[in-house]
Amino acid sequence: FHGQLIFSSRLPIPTNNMKLAILASLVAGASAFAPASQKAYSTALNVETAKGPYATELGAQAPLGFFDPFGITSGADAEKFARYRWVELKHGRVAMLAVVGYLVTYAGVRFPGAEDIPAGFAALDAVPG
Protein backbone atom coordinates (compact mmCIF):
# COMPACT_ATOMS: atom_id res chain seq x y z
CA PHE A 1 0.00 0.00 0.00
CA HIS A 2 2.56 2.48 -1.04
CA GLY A 3 1.27 6.10 -1.06
CA GLN A 4 -1.88 5.37 0.94
CA LEU A 5 -2.54 6.44 4.50
CA ILE A 6 -3.84 3.88 6.87
CA PHE A 7 -5.79 5.12 9.85
CA SER A 8 -6.07 3.03 12.91
CA SER A 9 -8.84 3.42 15.42
CA ARG A 10 -6.54 2.09 18.14
CA LEU A 11 -4.43 5.30 18.38
CA PRO A 12 -5.00 7.17 21.64
CA ILE A 13 -6.54 10.67 21.29
CA PRO A 14 -4.77 13.17 23.52
CA THR A 15 -7.85 14.59 25.28
CA ASN A 16 -5.94 17.04 27.48
CA ASN A 17 -4.34 18.73 24.49
CA MET A 18 -7.67 18.79 22.67
CA LYS A 19 -9.42 20.39 25.64
CA LEU A 20 -6.65 22.95 25.94
CA ALA A 21 -6.93 23.83 22.24
CA ILE A 22 -10.71 24.25 22.48
CA LEU A 23 -10.36 26.40 25.60
CA ALA A 24 -7.73 28.59 23.92
CA SER A 25 -9.91 29.11 20.86
CA LEU A 26 -12.90 30.03 23.04
CA VAL A 27 -10.85 32.59 24.97
CA ALA A 28 -9.48 34.07 21.75
CA GLY A 29 -12.98 34.27 20.26
CA ALA A 30 -14.42 35.92 23.36
CA SER A 31 -11.64 38.49 23.49
CA ALA A 32 -12.56 39.64 19.99
CA PHE A 33 -15.86 40.98 21.36
CA ALA A 34 -14.47 42.50 24.56
CA PRO A 35 -14.52 46.30 24.66
CA ALA A 36 -11.13 47.88 24.13
CA SER A 37 -10.04 50.85 26.18
CA GLN A 38 -10.03 53.95 24.02
CA LYS A 39 -9.08 57.52 24.65
CA ALA A 40 -12.01 59.91 24.27
CA TYR A 41 -11.56 62.42 21.47
CA SER A 42 -13.54 65.58 20.94
CA THR A 43 -15.03 66.23 17.52
CA ALA A 44 -15.49 69.95 18.17
CA LEU A 45 -13.54 72.34 15.99
CA ASN A 46 -10.85 74.29 17.77
CA VAL A 47 -11.56 77.54 15.98
CA GLU A 48 -11.75 80.83 17.75
CA THR A 49 -14.79 82.81 16.63
CA ALA A 50 -13.71 85.79 14.57
CA LYS A 51 -14.24 89.14 16.19
CA GLY A 52 -14.71 92.28 14.22
CA PRO A 53 -17.23 94.74 12.88
CA TYR A 54 -19.08 92.05 10.86
CA ALA A 55 -19.23 89.35 13.56
CA THR A 56 -22.94 89.99 14.13
CA GLU A 57 -23.95 90.08 10.45
CA LEU A 58 -26.42 87.64 8.94
CA GLY A 59 -24.58 84.40 8.11
CA ALA A 60 -21.99 84.65 10.90
CA GLN A 61 -22.61 81.50 12.92
CA ALA A 62 -20.83 79.03 15.14
CA PRO A 63 -18.29 77.51 15.03
CA LEU A 64 -16.58 79.83 12.53
CA GLY A 65 -18.37 83.08 13.21
CA PHE A 66 -17.74 85.59 10.43
CA PHE A 67 -15.62 83.57 8.01
CA ASP A 68 -13.22 85.67 5.93
CA PRO A 69 -10.06 83.56 5.46
CA PHE A 70 -8.41 85.94 2.96
CA GLY A 71 -9.21 89.14 4.85
CA ILE A 72 -11.10 90.69 1.93
CA THR A 73 -13.41 92.67 4.20
CA SER A 74 -10.71 93.92 6.53
CA GLY A 75 -10.84 97.68 6.42
CA ALA A 76 -14.03 97.70 4.33
CA ASP A 77 -16.78 100.10 5.32
CA ALA A 78 -20.45 99.12 5.57
CA GLU A 79 -21.20 100.21 1.97
CA LYS A 80 -18.41 98.07 0.51
CA PHE A 81 -19.47 95.12 2.68
CA ALA A 82 -23.05 95.46 1.41
CA ARG A 83 -21.76 95.46 -2.18
CA TYR A 84 -19.67 92.32 -1.53
CA ARG A 85 -22.73 90.60 -0.11
CA TRP A 86 -24.89 91.64 -3.10
CA VAL A 87 -22.27 90.45 -5.61
CA GLU A 88 -21.90 87.12 -3.80
CA LEU A 89 -25.67 86.55 -3.93
CA LYS A 90 -25.78 87.47 -7.62
CA HIS A 91 -22.97 85.07 -8.52
CA GLY A 92 -24.60 82.30 -6.49
CA ARG A 93 -27.89 82.78 -8.32
CA VAL A 94 -26.19 82.74 -11.72
CA ALA A 95 -24.37 79.53 -10.78
CA MET A 96 -27.64 77.90 -9.69
CA LEU A 97 -29.29 78.89 -12.98
CA ALA A 98 -26.33 77.45 -14.90
CA VAL A 99 -26.71 74.10 -13.13
CA VAL A 100 -30.47 74.02 -13.80
CA GLY A 101 -29.83 74.86 -17.46
CA TYR A 102 -27.29 72.07 -17.75
CA LEU A 103 -29.69 69.55 -16.20
CA VAL A 104 -32.60 70.64 -18.39
CA THR A 105 -30.60 70.30 -21.60
CA TYR A 106 -29.21 66.97 -20.42
CA ALA A 107 -32.82 65.82 -19.98
CA GLY A 108 -33.42 66.54 -23.67
CA VAL A 109 -35.23 69.89 -23.62
CA ARG A 110 -33.99 72.15 -26.43
CA PHE A 111 -34.82 75.60 -27.75
CA PRO A 112 -36.39 75.74 -31.21
CA GLY A 113 -33.63 75.55 -33.78
CA ALA A 114 -31.18 73.88 -31.40
CA GLU A 115 -32.55 70.34 -31.55
CA ASP A 116 -29.38 68.99 -33.17
CA ILE A 117 -27.01 70.31 -30.48
CA PRO A 118 -25.96 67.52 -28.08
CA ALA A 119 -26.04 67.79 -24.30
CA GLY A 120 -23.06 68.45 -22.05
CA PHE A 121 -19.60 69.51 -23.14
CA ALA A 122 -20.13 68.02 -26.59
CA ALA A 123 -22.32 71.06 -27.30
CA LEU A 124 -19.22 73.28 -27.38
CA ASP A 125 -18.11 71.73 -30.66
CA ALA A 126 -21.60 71.72 -32.20
CA VAL A 127 -22.54 75.39 -31.66
CA PRO A 128 -23.24 77.00 -35.03
CA GLY A 129 -21.19 80.03 -35.98
The span from the CA of 39 to the CA of 77, in Å, is 47
35-39, 43-47, 117-121: range with lowest mean pLDDT = 43-47
Local structure of residue 52 (DSSP, 8 states): S
The span from the CA of 125 to the CA of 118, in Å, is 9
Task: Look at residue 31 in the predicted model and tell me its pLDDT.
Answer: 76
Task: Look at residue 127 in the predicted model and tell me its pLDDT.
Answer: 76
34-38, 75-79, 92-96, 110-114: range with lowest mean pLDDT = 34-38
User: Which residues are registered as beta bridge partners of 65?
Assistant: 50, 61
Query: Before 63, cis peptide (omega within 30)?
Result: yes
Q: Sorting pLDDT into bands at 50, 70 and 90, what band is 19? A: confident
Task: Look at residue 95 in the predicted model and tell me its pLDDT.
Answer: 98
The average confidence (pLDDT) of the chain is 79
Higher-pLDDT residue of 36, 48: 36
∠ CA(11), CA(16), CA(18), 5° rounding? 75
The span from the CA of 59 to the CA of 77, in Å, is 18
Q: Sorting pLDDT into bands at 50, 70 and 90, what band is 113? A: confident
Task: Look at residue 33 in the predicted model and tell me its pLDDT.
Answer: 78
